[in-house]
Amino acid sequence: MALFSRGGNKEEKQPKGESIHPLVGKEHLCQVCGGRRMFTRSWRRVHPLAQCPLCGVPFESVQKVYSQFQPQCPRCEEPLEQPGFDYGFCDGCGSKFEIVAGTKPGLLPNRQQREAMKKFGTTRRS
């Protein structure tokens, strides 16, 4: 019966290499927008990334890349998500943050924000 199908294999529904768990969105302080905003797209990273999500370069040694305090791609300097940490996108501006309970979210700047930080010292547009 099409209405009540068993749904098939769970592995087929989840993309291969995807190692995240979705989380319920919460309200957090966004330093880019300058106020409290909802972070409805939130997740927890389970495993380290084997390649850069921005430029797609595969890492020769994942342990070497993740041995840094804030791991980043050796080619494009994209900050990488760490296993066991929560992340989310601000609904107001779309900036990506690392969310640690009891603290302000830490910005993981995208390429445009990194360029603004190098030029102006801040990501704010004001």
User: Domain spans of the chain?
Assistant: 18-120
53-83: pLDDT as tens digits = 999 999 999 999 999 888 999 999 899 999 9
Per-residue DSSP letters for 88-120?
EE-TTT--EEEE-TTSPPEE---HHHHHHHHHH
Per-residue model confidence (pLDDT) at position 84: 92
78-107: pLDDT as tens digits = 999 999 999 999 999 999 999 998 888 999
